[in-house]
A and B are shown apart, each in its own frame.
Chain A
Amino acid sequence: MKRLLLGIAASMAISMSAYAETKIAVSMSYFDDNFLTMLRQSMAKSAAEKPDVSIQFEDAQGDIGRQLNQVQNFVAQDVDAIIINATDTAATARMTKLAKKAGIPLVYVNKKPDQELPAGVVYVGSDEVVAGRLQGEQLAKSLNGKGNVAIMLGELSSSGTRGRTQGVKEVLANYPDIKIVEEQTANFQRSEAIDLMNNWIVSGIKIDAIAANNDEMALGALLAMRQAGISPKDIVVGGVDATSDALSSMAAKELAVTVFQNAAAQGEGAVTAALSLAKGEQVDGTVWVPFELVMLENMHQYQ
């Protein structure tokens, strides 16, 4: 009896793999980041929409070592394509080499590796510097080219923090009357941003605009301002991501500007690129998904 059951199970396993579905394995840097959750869901959705495609997700929990192990496991499983949302953009070379050596197509999504990617390895994502530029440009307009700007930095080792901050600074450098007076981290977290903003307010430095590296921190700054009785007209606040919380805040005329990073398009692009590579088709080395500026006037498109 036992043997019979085993036999059935074994034959089922064989027939399932013989069904020749395309297996995609994904290693995400974090499962609990809001934006990355949207990205993950979009990948799951676009894989589910295609026939005979299965997709599996692993959480690297921000740990490069863990991510490397996951990629090694994917290679050992002999999956048909690997998608990596890199935990550290400076440490992708070994993962690229692993996949390349095993001949498994590889797609990096959302976080752009610092390394020059070899042929057959694709990056799908958006240029963080552009997000910072869009945000900075709009804030400068709201300030009429004059005032003090404070930058709320995200997690300090993240490429989003570096790129977005660089973009904001590039743009603001064109305005001689705009000064960057503060630059501190709140780790992309709303509650930490409340504390940081409280400290800025009490320090008595004149701030006319906040350029936050993400929406969560922008919302934290606005919460602190509301409790201190400061109107969003006196300090203009900008974020990045266009999360649903951010759009609600924008509808209430609090958040002035945010930048939409198209999680759905990135996820779909990554899955499409992975499948094309698995079929042996040619794909461009970099697939850019544009950032989009979101303000009160056009926010209805993003809700």
Chain B
Amino acid sequence: MNTTTHPAPASVPEERKRFKMPQEGSILLVLVGIAVLFEILGWAVRGDTFLFNAQRLLIIVLQMSIIGLLAIGVTQVIITTGIDLSSGSVLALSAMIAASFAQTSDYARAVFPMFTDMPAVVPILLGVLAGGLAGLVNGALIARTMIPPFIATLGMMVTARGLARWYTDGQPVSLLSDEFTWFGSGYIPVVVFIVVAAIFHIALKYTRYGKFTYAIGANMNAARVSGINVNRHLVIVYSIAGLLSGLAGVLTAARAASGQAGMGMAYELDAIAAAVIGGTSLAGGVGRITGTVIGVIILGVMTSGFTFLGIDAYVQDVVKGAIIVAAVVADQYRQKKRKTA
């Protein structure tokens, strides 16, 4: 591949010339539509604004920044025609491991009494690396044994959750150092999310890493024939997804000031939903980080909007599921219309 001499993405050279709404345009409209709906309902029900509250806008992103990290990982995996079902469980495992090395010596029943009062960098690194290791195993299994990603990561989903429980026999790991919990306080998770999103947006769009990822997703055999080391690249993509799950686990533990084996339950599904809402195709080859970020924000807007309107807790998931499907349908419809026009 001599693409290194070509800085611009080779896939859409023709379309670049005439102005075209970016791919994310339509899903952005869906987001605006949902937000406006909540704004109107907000005035009707609460007599107050939903959108024009800077603090709420921050909270919308804050509450989704953990799932956002998982979504950025799974977006890249889905682009390679894969899937990652293990992210929620790996999050829990990383949270447990990070928390166990972040305990203060005040705690009489620390998991590792000899490893208390460690500098925060130790638990953070160990948590992230544990996630990376899980991702590495996922990638190696998929690349070497050729088992479907669905099965490999399903196995990891069960195993990692099991490890998280086994680690302390289900006991929560608490009393964590202030230095460590600072990492999850205030809006730091938002900053981490934005930085990570920016890094992978650039990586996918402008680097060889991104080109290989899309090439594998578009046609794995063609990618192999054109000289891409597909196996190695898949291992890298799954490892990155694992590292991001690990980072999400560290943030979750720091935020809750506790590591618990039940953390991140079913988060992988929200992450996949965010990616798909954002225009990532489960058929592979298509997807962008900007779209996923919008997908994540749509989920956050729904959570905050439901609470703001005081919608019956028993009804919320029913509406949420319907909105997720409707958002993707609306997006597909708009894209189709634009293509035929």
Chain A positions near chain B (C-beta within 8 angstroms):
30-34, 36-37, 40-41, 153, 156, 182-185, 189-191, 194-196, 198-200, 202-204, 216, 219-220, 223, 227, 243-245, 248
On chain A, the residues within 8 Å of B175 by CB distance are: 245, 248
Name the distance in Å between A156's Cβ and chain B's nearest Cβ.
6
Per a CB cutoff under 8 Å, which of A33, A190, A196 touches B307? A196
Instruction: Give the CA-CA distance A32 to B256 in the complex, in Å.
Output: 17
Instruction: Give the CA-CA distance A103 to B308 in the complex, in Å.
Output: 53
Contact between B170 and A198, CB atoms less than 8 A apart: no
* Known contacts A191-B252, A191-B263, A227-B186; A198/B62 CB under 8 A: yes
Instruction: Give the CA-CA distance A31 to B171 in the complex, in Å.
Output: 10
On chain A, the residues within 8 Å of B169 by CB distance are: 37, 41
On chain A, the residues within 8 Å of B63 by CB distance are: 195, 198-199
Instruction: Give the CA-CA distance A224 to B224 in the complex, in Å.
Output: 50
Contact between B165 and A32, CB atoms less than 8 A apart: yes
Contact between B53 and A202, CB atoms less than 8 A apart: yes
B residues 251-272 touching A (CB-CB < 8 Å): 252, 255-258, 260-263, 265
On chain A, the residues within 8 Å of B3 by CB distance are: none
A34, A189, A195: residue with the most chain B Cβ atoms closer than 10 Å: A195
What are 28 pairs between A and B in contact, CB < 8 Å?
A32-B161, A33-B170, A34-B171, A34-B260, A36-B170, A37-B170, A153-B313, A183-B313, A184-B307, A184-B310, A184-B313, A185-B313, A189-B262, A191-B252, A191-B256, A195-B63, A198-B59, A199-B63, A199-B304, A200-B307, A203-B56, A219-B258, A223-B255, A227-B185, A227-B186, A243-B172, A245-B258, A248-B174
Contact between A32 and B59, CB atoms less than 8 A apart: no
- Chain A residue at smallest Cβ distance from B59: A198
On chain A, the residues within 8 Å of B161 by CB distance are: 32
Instruction: Give the CA-CA distance A54 to B32 in the complex, in Å.
Output: 61
Per a CB cutoff under 8 Å, which of B62, B66, B262, B303 touches A32? B262
On chain A, the residues within 8 Å of B46 by CB distance are: 203
Per a CB cutoff under 8 Å, which of A33, A199, A203 touches B262? A33
Contact between B303 and A199, CB atoms less than 8 A apart: yes
Contact between A190 and B56, CB atoms less than 8 A apart: no
Does B48 reach chain A (CB closer than 8 Å)?
Answer: yes
Does B52 reach chain A (CB closer than 8 Å)?
Answer: no
Name the distance in Å between B274's Cβ and chain A's nearest Cβ.
16
Q: What is the number of residues of chain B that contact chain A, defined by CB distance less than 8 Å?
A: 39
- Chain B residue at smallest Cβ distance from A151: B313
Instruction: Give the CA-CA distance A31 to B172 in the complex, in Å.
Output: 12
Contact between A245 and B303, CB atoms less than 8 A apart: no
Contact between A244 and B174, CB atoms less than 8 A apart: yes
Chain B positions near chain A (C-beta within 8 angstroms):
46, 48, 53, 55-56, 59, 62-63, 66, 161, 164-165, 169-172, 174-175, 185-186, 252, 255-258, 260-263, 265, 303-304, 306-308, 310, 313-314, 316
- Chain A residue at smallest Cβ distance from B261: A32
On chain A, the residues within 8 Å of B165 by CB distance are: 31-32
Instruction: Count contacts between A and B, CB distance < 8 Å.
Output: 88
Contact between A220 and B170, CB atoms less than 8 A apart: no
- Chain A residue at smallest Cβ distance from B109: A244
Name the distance in Å between A151's Cβ and chain B's nearest Cβ.
10
* Known contacts A198-B63, A199-B304, A244-B174; A223/B313 CB under 8 A: no
Name the distance in Å between A163's Cβ and chain B's nearest Cβ.
16
Name the distance in Å between B206's Cβ and chain A's nearest Cβ.
34
Give me 9 other A-B pairs in contact (C-beta within 8 A), A199-B56, A199-B304, A202-B59 excluded. A32-B262, A36-B170, A40-B170, A189-B265, A194-B256, A196-B307, A202-B56, A216-B260, A219-B258
On chain B, the residues within 8 Å of A244 by CB distance are: 174
Instruction: Give the CA-CA distance A216 to B257 in the complex, in Å.
Output: 11
- Chain B residue at smallest Cβ distance from A220: B256
On chain B, the residues within 8 Å of A191 by CB distance are: 66, 252, 255-256, 263
On chain B, the residues within 8 Å of A195 by CB distance are: 59, 62-63, 303
A31, A36, A248: residue with the most chain B Cβ atoms closer than 10 Å: A31
Instruction: Give the CA-CA distance A191 to B303 in the complex, in Å.
Output: 14
Name the distance in Å between B90's Cβ and chain A's nearest Cβ.
15
Name the distance in Å between A216's Cβ and chain B's nearest Cβ.
8
- Chain B residue at smallest Cβ distance from A248: B175
On chain B, the residues within 8 Å of A196 by CB distance are: 307
